[in-house]
Amino acid sequence: MNRLVCTSLERPKDLPPPKRQGPARVMFVHGLELGFSTVASNLEQYMATRDDIDAVHLQIARPLWVRIAGMHNLPLGRLRVGIPYGDNRQMLAYRALLGRLFRRWYPMDRFDCVHLMTQQRSLITTTLAGRTSTRFVVGIDATAMCYYREFRGRSPMSAGQERRIFSAADAVSCFSNWAADSVAQDYNIDRRKLFMYRPCVMVSGPRTRIEREPGPIRIIFIGNDWVGKGGPRLIRWHQEHWRDIAEIHVCSAGAPKGKQLTNVIWHGATPHAKLIQEILPRMDMAVIPTYLDTLLIAAQEAQSQGLPVVTSRIAGIPDIVKDGRTGILCSPLDDAAYITAVDRLIKDAGLRRSMSNASLEHGRRNLDSAVWHRHFADQIVAVADGRPLSFSPPGVQ
């Protein structure tokens, strides 16, 4: 059950009792930037259904002084992509903010377990671990070391800081095998402390494909980060190669507004229910030539609706898109590889059909949000109880 959902700017009105009386008393510390707001919303929805968890959700609304603590630009080839993480000063600012909240409003004797997302907010664990009976779980999408290897970009925190955080935490929940392998191998953390949480978007289960009216091949692009997810490149390829034989449907709050192009349909910011129920089932494939994602929730949405996905072979994406079976993975800066992949799917109806069927099965077996949320909650309760963890749900690849 959800006892309380509030932000760091609100004084809590209701907290769990000082002594556990039944359900595990769990605080979830959520971030609201980038895709983590979606993850937070999904967890809030799911935890409301769990009778064995007494949940308090704390959404960190970053005060101005934390946001100003540091911004930097990440060089990536010809791009400079701004990301809203700062340097060590911002990590210290988060520790100070959470330390004050835990002392004044959220005393640790009210919680058996605290889950913090992500490690950029988790420096407080190095201060509190061993001083309280509360157990700590840190949720991550990447580590500093695997992020640097993949993107050659500056990390918001040092590997030394992360090592201290992972060592102090009782468990680390990882978005992908890519991240989990780094925690174990780069930081020498016991794998028994790790478990997988694949942050699938809440959908009503994988669906059968909707028979649609005849017409051009329909390609969908999903992503509010218009530049970072490669939207301008996809539009250029489409206008040069496929504008007379395929439609591009763009679901993005960041896409240009009112631009008239042949066979380009601009949906703008698209409500999730409309995307899942009305748009995706009528598409033929998803193409997202992303530069910078550590995991791609949109690819899970698309496959759960039976779409082949063409996207980048980076970070944790190979965990969720099975290259050659449910889609095609390309080097992120290789325009020719992307054009060839999309050409193949446009021209080969049999390949589209086989990948569509494989995507539906993959979505049912490995991307089901109900399975992953249940697994996540089960591991949180296991941490609160001091029991061993299971790395991934039974039967999931």
pLDDT of res. 91: 78
* 2-200+369-385 is a CATH 1.25.40.10 domain: no
Tell me the domain boundaries of the chain: 2-200+369-385, 217-366
Burial of 207 (0-12, 13-18, 19+ CB in 10 A): middle
Higher pLDDT, 31 or 108: 108
DSSP state of 250: E
Whole-angstrom Cα distance, residue 22 to residue 44?
Answer: 20
Average pLDDT in the 340-346 region?
98
pLDDT digits (tens, 9 = 90+) for 360-397: 999 989 998 889 999 999 999 999 999 999 999 998 87
DSSP H/E element including 182: helix 177-187
Banded pLDDT at 267 (limits 50, 70, 90): very high
Candidate from 1-5, 83-87, 97-101, 244-248 with smallest mean pLDDT: 83-87
Order the strands of the 327-330 sheet from edge to edge: 264-266, 246-251, 217-222, 285-288, 309-312, 327-330
2-200+369-385 and 217-366 in the same fold: yes
pLDDT at 68: 62
Q: Which residue has the tokens 């100070």?
A: 96
Quick: pLDDT tens for 129-159.
Answer: 889 999 999 999 999 999 999 998 766 678 8
- List C-alpha distances in Å: 296 to 146, 336, 382: 17, 22, 28
> What percent of the chain lies above the pLDDT cut of 70?
89
- CATH code: domain 217-366 is 3.40.50.2000
State the DSSP code for 255.
S
